[in-house]
Amino acid sequence: MTPAIKIDQVHKHFGTLHALKGIDLTIEQGEFFALLGPNGAGKSTLINLLAGLLRPSSGKLSVMGFDVVQQYRQARHALGVVPQELVFDPFFNVREMLRFQAGYFGLGTENDPWIDEVIEALGLTDKATTNMRRLSGGMKRRALIAQALAHKPPVLVLDEPTAGVDVELRQILWEFIKRLNREGHTIILTTHYLEEAETLCSRVAMMKQGEIVALDSTANLLNHFPGKNLRLKLGSALPQSLSAMLRNEEDGEYMLALSEVTQVEYVLAELRSANVVVEDMQLIEADLEDVFVELVGRK
């Protein structure tokens, strides 16, 4: 089967900045894929290259088998992109914008039932005739997703879709995106909420400074990093001897990173010898965030 996305040795330079350093990536049809990385890792650059908003310095990218440069019309037909910024056209209402967006892709009134379906699924029915300017931030975000779907693309890219979105709306959005994925759409997601990627995505690529530093199924990535976290609430400050293991400190609670469970004994021994009282303690499984910190934080 033709991959949904194929990226071969893609480099991107902005002047002297080497933003992407030979990216290779294949995403199969029907996948729910996460692209993770800190700010400046190159995630948005990669998405913009796929969308044709940027041009690669070298290498090839294709969407559903269509080269994004040579066969840009077919490639763009196959791709819907939800941008990170809340951009909108202040002259039109939601339904008009969706009709225009579908029209740009050559679709006329025959596409109206799909637009109605998207409007309803995203809870925009009451706002369909409201000017984009008058929508709240959350509603604008829904309208952006609807716009990306207006031409019914098989591949949907969401660049930080839940940034600044409240919990309730996040749930609505994810239910809808999961439904699209079940119906066969390939979903590619960038997010800072790693628990979202862990819950939703079957495969993850982690990027750092223009390179992919990890690419595997979510389960495999978690298995490869069997470490655990030890959360401690102490009667006094953490002894200096344990500071190397400290991941973070918040409200008097310390989170220590353990490479294996047996280190618990060492931690307790150090606390005893420093006469520090343990008020509470919890052993927590590593999650995608730990993997992320481990890989992306590695010098």
Stated as kind and residue range, the H or E segment containing 13 is: strand 5-14
CB of 146 to other proteins, least distance (A): 12
Of 59 and 227, nearer to other proteins (C-beta) is: 59
CB of 103 to other proteins, least distance (A): 3
Nearest to 255 by CA among 276, 280, 273: 280
What angle (nearest 5°) sits at the alpha carbon of residue 220, between those of residues 298 and 24? 65
| Residue with Cβ nearer other proteins (108 or 297) | 108
Which residue of 17, 26, 58, 104 would you call a contact of other proteins, by CB under 8 A?
Answer: 104
* Cα end-to-end distance, the chain, whole Å: 38
CA dist 31 and 289 (Å) reads 21
Rule CB under 8 A: choose which of 48, 130, 202, 241 binds other proteins: 48
What's the chain's Rg over C-alpha atoms?
23
Alpha helices in 56-193 (DSSP H): 72-77, 94-104, 112-121, 137-149, 167-182
Q: Which of residues 164-223 bind other proteins (CB under 8 A)?
A: none
Candidates 20, 54, 187, 257: give the one binding other proteins (CB under 8 A): 54
Cβ proximity to other proteins, 82 vs 295, nearer residue:
82
Among 37, 83, 138, 210, which residue interacts with other proteins (rule: CB under 8 A)? 83
Residue 77 in the binding site for other proteins (CB under 8 A)? yes
Distance of closest approach, residue 288 Cβ to other proteins, in angstroms: 29
Token pair recorded at residue 106: 């050559």
Residue 81 near other proteins by CB under 8 A: yes
Quick one: 61 or 271, whose CB is closer to other proteins? 61
Helices assigned H by DSSP within the chain: 43-51, 72-77, 94-104, 112-121, 137-149, 167-182, 194-200, 218-224, 263-273, 288-297
The answer to whether 87 contacts other proteins (rule: CB under 8 A) is: yes
CB atoms within 10 A of CB 237: 12
Is 90 among the residues that bind other proteins (CB under 8 A)?
A: yes
Q: Which stretch binds other proteins (CB under 8 A): 103-111, 209-217, 222-230, 290-298?
A: 103-111
CA dist., res. 15 & res. 73, Å (int): 28
Instruction: Residue 56: name the closest of 78, 80, 25, 23 by CA.
Output: 23
Residue 76 or residue 208: which is nearer to other proteins going by CB? 76
Of 77, 65, 84, 292, the residue nearest 201 (C-alpha): 292
Cβ-based nearer residue to other proteins, 14 or 266: 14
Question: Site map for other proteins, 119-148, x if CB under 8 A?
Answer: ----------------------------x-
Site of interaction with other proteins (CB under 8 A): 14, 48, 51-55, 72-74, 76-77, 79, 81, 83, 85, 87-92, 96-97, 100-101, 103-108, 147
